[in-house]
Amino acid sequence: MRRVLVLVALMAGVVPVAAQDRAWPSERPPRPLPARESTFPDYQMRTLDNGLQVVTVLHHEQPVVSMRMIVRVGAAQDPRDRTGLADLAASLLDQGSVGKSAKQVQDEIDFMGGAMGAGAGADLTFANVVVMKDSFEAGLRILSDMARTPGFAPAEVERQRQQALSTLRVNFDSPEFVADAVFDRLVYGFHPYGLPQNGTAGSIATITRDDIVAFHDTYFVPNNAILAVVGDVTADEAIGMVQKVFGDWQRKALPASTFVAPPDPTRRVIVVNKPDAVQTEVRAGHIGIKRNHQDYMALNMALRILGGEGANRLHQVLRTERGLTYGAKADMDTLLEAGDFEASTSTRSQATGEVLRLIVDEFWRLQRERVGDRELNDAKAYITGSFPLTLEVPDAIATQVLNVLFYGLPVEQLQTYRDRVNAVRSDDVERVARYYLRPDRLAIVLVGNASAFLPQLRGLGFSNVEVIDMDDLDLLAADFRKPGSKTRAQVPAVPSRRGAPGASLQFPLAPPAAYQPASAQATGRGSTPEDGVSARQLLDRVIAAKGGLERLRAVTSLVVTTRARALGPNAPTDMADTVTSIEYPNRVRVESTIRGTDVLQVFDGTRAWVRDPNGTHDVPERGVRDFQNGLRRDTINVLLAALDGRVRVRRLADVKDDAGVVRPALEFSGADLEPMVMYIDPATGLVTKLTYVAGGMGQPLVEESFSDYRNVNGVQITYAATVRVGGQPALERTVTDVKVGGALDPSLFRRP
């Protein structure tokens, strides 16, 4: 009997490693005891006449008092050419005051067995002091000196400047740091949240003592600050002492902060190459919401399910199931002005492609699939159950109150936190996941040994990868490259494991030829556009080249006859003859003939149908979307939509074509349009290439290149096109006839 048991265990691959295993009972876990009362602990809030908000949390177990001040100014207020100013200013707060040298104040705090510290974040600067209760007043005075009268002695400024520069050098050797910094820049663009908070070597060197003094004078005022006093004092003692020490701090008007909006999410892959790295730091995500937002709770739940404590699909998929990482998580970073969603992990170089694919898949899964009640309830149980854990020590209680005050949230939220968590339903999570998550527009950052994983990216369909050597990295450049650094090729051309599916897959149902009319133009009136030409100017130029705004608006239909041939090792050799009729803006009819078989596809603006030798069928919803997307990518449609503001357009920096030639490029994106990049011939203003991913991230990139433009009734139409899918040639197309004209016969779009 015993032998049999052991055998069964071995066959199941399970090894009981305990000698006494058999004697141990089989049973279910015991039930919990009655739950204990848990309420939000007491705290007091007061506002002094000068506007200083004061929070007190009393706690008498240990003879210690902690004092924490938050000033509402951070790196977000750094002038654009002085990044790192808030950080440098904060680092000087504990380096002496007007009345005491750095050495004096440091000796004072150390001798009393206290500690002090200061620092800056994106939106705030903090200064903390902790002392034994018998030094409460002395501690509060040190904090007052830090906040109100820091000395900024020139010698101390120079010391901290050197420290900041050395820290930068070490930081830029840390793949983690670099990945986070590039991710922020990618997601927030040139919004202050996207800029390096601890500055650059250039900006740190430029900041003067006057800059620091002016910055402090402007923002360090009582009506811009919150002070928490926590620990072994009475409420009267605390408020009385704060009044005594901070009561004469003068209120002052604050300048308004205005920020540029962060850009819309855009699909972009940045690889920072660090050849000596043994792991790749992986970041993926996009812009999110600010902290004070009505959907915060539901989105927070969605992100926790993706990768938060108490849930964490990423951890499950990457670590538990595959052993690809030590840890993976997803966070919702929510700041005052904006926020982001971010998945992060690190993995051995060789597993980079697989890890990236799995992360992107999980974004899609969360966006597309409803979260089940069981998974949601587990996540809620963790959040509500662990709430008392976040209130264990007095400083943690103070943190909760400070957060509410800082973000301007209703104070009652502290008491109702668990009710609000429990109120989130699957419907809410589904709604916000669908609305806010954009897996097709993830900003992706990979910091590691590029040669170990670049070929994998191409295989996975990630094209347009921008590779930057670590030494060339410049966080302030639009293309992340130091001026003058040599540019590298993008993803090296390596054989893809996918064949060339484009053509064969698309035939006969929807040849890419179908609704690609053409792009064209009267040749270059304008010459080469200079740097800094705005998206709008470039857009105008493309429209002018194509035929002019008036002419394009007058085009109501386009009928194009083409011959096309599939390319690739397994492609059929037959030619496909196609007549595509578009009636702007949203109807299309495609008649194709291949190997003697006729196929007709029609989209009437709402429904789509197909007639093939087997009869007439309705096209399923997914296919309908393909028609709609194809029409939205039509050159005339997209140009006019961008001009009218229905589609967002932005100018890309330094995009290169296959030959490595810099060409102006525009990116079009919108609620219903996956990002599409349009490359423009600098000499003529004609469109030379369109690239896009149809059906979302992870799908292969489609590249359509155009040439042989001819003028047809005042519109420039391309007569020759090639299509590459996933980097492989897929289709070659020649136009034989084009009609640019008026209304088409309505019966062409009527379902038989």
Partner 1 sequence: MTRRVLRTFVVSALLAAISGLPAGAAVPPPRLHYDFSTLPNGLKVILSEDHSSPIIHLGVYYHVGSKNERPGRTGFAHLFEHLMFKGSKNVGAEEHTSVIASAGGQSNAYTTDDETVFWQTFPAQYLPMVSWLEADRMASLRVEKDNFTNEREVVKEERRMRVDNQPYGRLNELIYDQTFTTHPYKHPTIGSMADLEAASVDDVREFYNTFYVPENATLVIVGDFETAQAKAIVEQYFGRVPKAQRPVPRDLPKEPAQTQEKRVTLQQPWPLQAVVVAYHIAYDGHPDSYPLHIASKVLSDGQSSRIYQKLVYEQQLAVTAFGGANLVEDPNLFYAVAIVQPGQSPEAAIAALIGELDQLKAGGITERELQRAKNQFARDYILGRESNQQKALQLAHAVVIHNDISTADGEFEIFQGITAADVKRVAEIYFTEANRTVITIMPASRADAGGGR
Segment 250 to 279, residues that bind partner 1, using CB under 8 A: 275-279
Cβ of residue 41: shortest distance to partner 1, in angstroms?
A: 8
Report residue 241: phi and psi, to 5°: -70, -40
Structural element, H or E, at residue 466: strand 465-469
Would you say 131 or 555 has its CB closer to partner 1? 131
1, 4, 11, 18: which one binds partner 1 (CB under 8 A): 18
Nearer Cβ to partner 1, position 252 or 482?
482
Instruction: Give the residue from 244, 291, 280, 286 showing the smallest Cα distance to 268.
Output: 286
606 is a contact residue toward partner 1 (CB under 8 A): no
Would you say 394 or 675 has its CB closer to partner 1? 394
For position 415 contacting partner 1 by CB under 8 A, the verdict is no
CB of 391 to partner 1, least distance (A): 7
Residue 112 or 476 with smaller CB distance to partner 1:
112
Between CA 224 and CA 247 the distance in angstroms is 14
Residue 414 contacts residue 397 (beta carbons within 8 Å): no
Question: Which one, 239 or 393, has the nearer CB to partner 1?
Answer: 393
Give the tokens for residue 101.
Answer: 């040298």
- Alpha-carbon torsion (491, 495, 497, 502), positive or negative: positive
373 binds partner 1 (CB under 8 A): no
Our finding on whether 38 is near partner 1 (CB under 8 A) is yes
Residue 112 interacts with partner 1 (CB under 8 A): yes or no: yes
Residue 310 interacts with partner 1 (CB under 8 A)? yes
Label the pairing between strands 328-334 and 597-603. Answer: unpaired
Residue list 277-306, contact with partner 1 (CB under 8 A)? 277-279
Residue 319 CB, shortest distance to partner 1, in Å, is: 6
Q: Per rule CB under 8 A, is residue 1 in the interface with partner 1?
A: no
Asked if 651 and 266 count as a contact pair (C-beta separation under 8 A), the reply is no
User: In 327-346, which positions are buried (b, 16+ CB within 10 angstroms) versus exposed (e)?
Assistant: ebbbbbbbbbbbbbbbbbbb
Contacts of 644 (CB under 8 A, 6+ apart): none
Both structure tokens of 752: 């038989």
- By CB under 8 A, the residues from 41 to 70 that bind partner 1 are 61-64
Between 176 and 657, CB nearer to partner 1: 176
Q: Is 109 in the site for partner 1 (CB under 8 A)?
A: yes
Q: Which lies closer to partner 1 via its Cβ, residue 107 or residue 248?
A: 107
Interacting residue with partner 1 among 30, 154, 484, 596 (CB under 8 A): 30
Judged by beta carbon, residue 388 or residue 529, the one nearer partner 1 is 388
* Of positions 153, 235, 393, 600, contacts partner 1 by CB under 8 A: 393
Provide the phi-psi class of 480: left if phi over 0, else alpha when psi is between -120 and 50, else beta.
Answer: left
391 vs 535 by CB, closer to partner 1: 391
In the complex, least distance from residue 471 CB atom to partner 1, rounded to whole angstroms: 9
CA atoms within 13 A on the CB side of 80: 9
Applying CB under 8 A, the span of 379-387, 425-433, 516-524, 652-660 interacting with partner 1 comes to 379-387
Asked if residues 731 and 672 have their Cβ atoms less than 8 Å apart, the reply is: no
Taking alpha carbons only, the member of 282, 284, 365, 276 closest to residue 324 is: 282
3-state SS of 572-638 is CCCEEEEEEEEECCCEEEEEEEECCEEEEEEECCCCEEEEECCEEEECCHHHHHHHHHHHHHCHHHH
Residue 496, token pair as written in the block: 């893809």
Binding mask 339-368 for partner 1 (x = CB under 8 A): -------xxx--------------------
**List 134, 369, 672, 737, residue binding partner 1 (CB under 8 A):** 134
Q: Quick one: which of 1, 32, 483, 528 contacts partner 1 (CB under 8 A)?
A: 32
Encoded one letter per residue, x for contact with partner 1 by CB under 8 A and - for no contact, window 505-544 reads ----------------------------------------
What b-and-e string marks burial along 21-51, b requiring 16 or more CB atoms within 10 Å of the CB?
eeeeeeeeeeeeeeeeeeebbebeeeebebe
- With CB under 8 A as the contact rule, which of the stretches 68-76, 161-169, 399-407, 479-487 interacts with partner 1? 161-169
Q: Which of residues 162-181 bind partner 1 (CB under 8 A)?
A: 162-163, 166-167, 169-170, 172-176
Length of the chain equals: 752
Among positions 384, 413, 557, 711, the unique one binding partner 1 when judged by CB under 8 A: 384
* Chain Cα centroid distance, residue 658: 27
Q: Which of residues 317-336 bind partner 1 (CB under 8 A)?
A: 319-327
For residues 141 and 209, which CB has a smaller minimum distance to partner 1 in the complex?
A: 141
Structural contact between residues 275 and 472, judged by C-beta atoms closer than 8 angstroms: no
| Residue 2 sits in the site that holds partner 1 (CB under 8 A) | no
Pattern 636-655, partner 1, x by CB under 8 A: --------------------
By CB under 8 A, the residues from 113 to 132 that bind partner 1 are 113-115, 130, 132
Tokens of residue 135, six digits: 């030094």
Q: Does 99 bind partner 1 (CB under 8 A)?
A: no
DSSP letter at 407 equals T
* CA pair distance 315, 324, nearest whole angstrom: 10
Among 5, 7, 8, 21, binds partner 1 (CB under 8 A): 21
Distance CA 107, CA 609 (A): 83
154 is an interface residue for partner 1 by CB under 8 A: no
Q: Should residue 486 be labelled a site residue for partner 1 when binding is judged by CB under 8 A?
A: no
Rule CB under 8 A: which of 67-96 touch partner 1?
94
Residue 177 or 193: the one with the smaller Cβ distance to partner 1 is 177
Nearer of residues 371 and 594 to partner 1, judged by Cβ = 371
Least distance from partner 1 to the Cβ atom of residue 538, Å: 39
C-alpha to C-alpha distance for 692 and 672, rounded to whole angstroms: 13
Output 234 or 570, the one with its CB closest to partner 1: 234
The answer to whether 115 touches 139, Cβ cutoff 8 Å, is no
Q: How far apart are CA 247 and CA 393, in angstroms?
A: 28
Residue appearing with tokens 């194509």: 546
